[in-house]
């Protein structure tokens, strides 16, 4: 079983070929970040148009690199949502057309399902069931993963996503969009304890998050200060510590509450080094294990969509033709 995967939900055009037996055969990605940077964020119409330009050459490249002629492909998986509707429609239209032309199924994949399965691309993949922390630019969720397609949301952010909080605070610090990774780099040179930010929602029971207050706290901390000096790095450090500490403590509580022994981290913020270190300590304490995708598969990529498509196709779990694209789509409601 071999699947071509296509990701186009936001500002990355990404394509991959995944084989049930041989694993990941190839993956290609084109990032639009440079194009959107001038506007300080993603411009949806520009994103859609660029996906149109990039998709076909990337598919050709990925198929060639995988030495996979079209006859070897059993299905075409694409991100069906959630995401920017125009961007999603480019991938959905392309995959559906390819599926019809090749007489192979087009498989609509939930973007977050792709993210939470991404650690299964690694040499030592986790078995089901597991607890997943999804931390991306648009989502922050703790998910009880019983099996493929069986997802229960245990907690989520009430306002900003963790990645969004990183990006907004990075902007306050004068870093270019998207600033999450750059803020983390800046924080390396910052001193711990110079600024102590609130740890939102830790004083309450439950597994929900709230990150919107942190950027305000950063704004207050920076008010009237020189943005060039050590202070900037110290604020970055304080902010990062607050987010990491909050995420780690909620993961600890969720592991205790569910009794899961496996924790999966997925989504762009999963690339954060301090978060990885902190979670490694949490699971050690609980005699559990943590699984991360390699850094390049934390952020959006085609490999996770090809993998999810292959798993669904192998299990006969397709959402059906006419799946199309959905800007909003709850992970807990996707079904099998
Ligand atoms: O999963 P992703 O690629 O896109 C969405 O589906 O949203 O996540 C992107 C997010 C951005 O907010 C970015 O700033 C953040 O992940 N990010 C990081 C790091 N690398 C990427 N945040 C903190 N530390 C990092 N090293
Ligand atoms: Zn994503």
CATH code of 40's domain = 3.30.420.40
Residue 5: what pLDDT? 98
70/141 same-domain check: no
Ligand 1, atom 16: closest residue by C-alpha: 268
Please give the distance, rounded to the nearest whole angstrom, from the Cα atom of residue 7 to the centre of ligand 2.
9
8/90 same-domain check: yes
Residue whose CB lies within 8 A of the most ligand 1 atoms, among 82, 111, 137, for a mutation test: 137
Residue 224: what pLDDT? 84
Instruction: Pick the atom of ligand 1 nearest to 299's CA.
Output: 3
174/284 same-domain check: yes
Indicate whether 308 belongs to any domain: yes
Residue 322: what pLDDT? 63
Residue 98: what pLDDT? 97
Which residues contact ligand 1 via a Cβ below 6 A? 136-138, 163, 166-167, 178, 180-181, 184, 267-269, 271-272, 299-300
Q: How many domains does the chain have?
A: 2
CB 288 within 8 A of CB 193: no
The whole domain housing 73 covers 2-117+297-333
Residue 201: what pLDDT? 85
DSSP string covering 144-194? EEEETTEEEEEEEBSSS-HHHHHHHHHHHTTPPSS-HHHHHHHHHTSPTTS
Residue 200: what pLDDT? 85
Average pLDDT across each block of 10 residues of the chain; the chain has 336 residues. List them in order. 97 97 98 92 95 98 97 97 96 96 96 96 97 95 96 96 96 91 96 92 91 91 84 95 97 97 96 97 97 96 98 88 82 75
138/284 same-domain check: yes
Its pTM stands at: 0.94
211/283 same-domain check: yes
Structure tokens at 10: 């936001």
Please give the distance, rounded to the nearest whole angstrom, from the Cα atom of residue 181 to the centre of ligand 1.
7
155/259 same-domain check: yes
91/133 same-domain check: no
> Burial letters for 58-73: b for 16+ Cβ neighbours within 10 Å, e otherwise?
bbeebbeebebeeeeb
48/98 same-domain check: yes
CB 302 within 8 A of CB 15: yes
Please give the distance, rounded to the nearest whole angstrom, from the Cα atom of residue 32 to the centre of ligand 2.
14
231/88 same-domain check: no
175/255 same-domain check: yes
14/55 same-domain check: yes
Residue 321: what pLDDT? 56
């Amino acid at each position: 079983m071999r699947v071509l995967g296509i990701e186009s939900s936001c500002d990355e055009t990404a394509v991959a070929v995944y084989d049930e037996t041989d694993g990941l055969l190839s993956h290609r990605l084109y990032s639009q970040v440079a194009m959107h940077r001038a506007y300080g964020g993603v411009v949806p119409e520009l994103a859609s148009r660029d996906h149109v330009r990039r998709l076909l050459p990337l598919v050709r490249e990925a198929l060639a690199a995988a030495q996979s002629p079209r006859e070897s492909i059993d299905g075409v998986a694409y991100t069906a949502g959630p995401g920017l509707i125009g961007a999603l429609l480019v991938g959905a239209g392309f995959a559906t057309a390819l599926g019809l032309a090749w007489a192979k199924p087009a498989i609509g994949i939930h973007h977050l399902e792709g993210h939470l399965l991404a650690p299964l691309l690694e040499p030592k993949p986790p078995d089901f069931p597991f607890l997943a922390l999804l931390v991306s630019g648009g989502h922050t969720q703790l998910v009880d993963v019983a099996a493929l397609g069986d997802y229960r949301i245990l907690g989520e952010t009430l306002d900003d996503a963790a990645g969004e909080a990183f990006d907004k605070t990075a902007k306050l610090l004068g870093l270019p969009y998207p600033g999450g990774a750059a803020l983390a780099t800046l924080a390396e040179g910052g001193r711990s304890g110079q600024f102590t930010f609130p740890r939102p929602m830790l004083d309450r029971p439950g597994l929900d998050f709230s990150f919107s207050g942190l950027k305000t706290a950063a704004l207050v901390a920076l008010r009237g200060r020189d943005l060039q000096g050590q202070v900037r790095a110290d604020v970055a450090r304080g902010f990062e510590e607050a987010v990491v500490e909050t995420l780690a403590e909620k993961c600890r509580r969720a592991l205790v509450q569910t009794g899961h022994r496996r924790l999966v981290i997925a989504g762009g913020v999963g690339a954060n080094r301090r978060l990885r270190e902190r979670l490694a300590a949490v699971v050690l304490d609980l005699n559990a294990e943590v699984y991360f995708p390699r850094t390049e598969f934390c952020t959006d990529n085609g490999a996770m969509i090809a993998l999810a498509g292959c798993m669904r196709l192998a299990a006969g779990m397709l959402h059906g033709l006419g799946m199309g694209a959905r800007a909003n789509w709850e992970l807990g409601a996707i079904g099998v």
